[in-house]
A = this chain, B = another copy of it.
């Protein structure tokens, strides 16, 4: 019933125009087509989607609340540029919340859900196979959202959506170049644990999965000189 409460505000299939804009921009950011710091002009976006600035504005405000867009007064909206500190916070929150989410997901497991999970894994593998990095990164995030939906816990789902979106930016900014293949498919392991209804294993695998992602990041306290300047003077 809780999920219904939100049906009009952020339903995934909402056909109203502001949702289309929001989802279009979100997808572009999550697929790393829009880089952090990019200016998101209202006219520009409005023309693309054939909408007036009023609608673009509300969409951007929603994205700002989700943390993937920064709105600077009288200057406009920009794709967010999370700091290493933000990154640590995001992953700590994920390590706290996601093990609990898989727990709930196992409570709510059903053949239909297992089907969806399996189908998703197939999509992920396929994207990986054909080297489609953009689809890969998007699907990877959607896997976690799928588990959260499965848990039926609408608050955790909302929180996780924010965390996932930010994670995508963080990975783009701070992933090490020398990351070794990264092919090890943790998601499949998690699904296997869910299928066996083994909460202990599912929690553990989710946790190590998140740790591994974070371990692949390079989160120096002071990243680049320009970044350092921005942080120091931004205060």
Interface residues of A (CB under 8 A from B): 1-2, 4-5, 8-9, 16, 58, 61-62, 64-65, 70-73, 80, 82-83, 85-86, 89-90, 92-93, 96-97, 100, 153-156, 159, 163, 231, 234-235
Complexed CA–CA distance, A93 and B153 (Å)? 10
Tell me how far the C-beta of A146 lies from the nearest C-beta in chain B, rounded to whole angstroms.
Answer: 19
Q: Is the interface of A mostly helix, strand, loop or mixed?
A: helix
List, in ascending order, chain B residues with CB within 8 A of A61's CB: 58, 61-62
Residues B155 and A85 in contact, CB atoms below 8 Å apart: no
Residue in contact with A8 in the complex, picked from B4, B73, B154, CB distance below 8 Å = B73
Complexed CA–CA distance, A165 and B92 (Å)? 23
8 contacts between A and B (CB under 8 A): A1-B83, A4-B235, A5-B82, A9-B70, A58-B58, A61-B62, A62-B65, A92-B153
Query: A58-B61, A92-B153 are known contacts; what are 17 more A-B pairs with Cβ within 8 Å?
Result: A1-B83, A1-B235, A2-B83, A2-B85, A2-B89, A4-B234, A4-B235, A5-B83, A8-B73, A58-B58, A65-B65, A86-B155, A89-B156, A93-B155, A93-B156, A93-B159, A159-B159
Q: Which 6 A-B pairs have the closest CB atoms?
A: A89-B155, A2-B86, A65-B65, A1-B85, A93-B155, A1-B83
Given contacts A9-B71, A58-B61, A64-B9, contact A1 B100 (CB under 8 A): no
Tell me how far the C-beta of A154 lies from the nearest C-beta in chain B, rounded to whole angstroms.
Answer: 6
Complexed CA–CA distance, A35 and B70 (Å)? 33
Question: Closest B-chain residue to A232, C-beta based?
Answer: B1
Complexed CA–CA distance, A126 and B9 (Å)? 40
Complexed CA–CA distance, A85 and B5 (Å)? 11
Residues A153 and B89 in contact, CB atoms below 8 Å apart: yes
Residues A100 and B96 in contact, CB atoms below 8 Å apart: yes
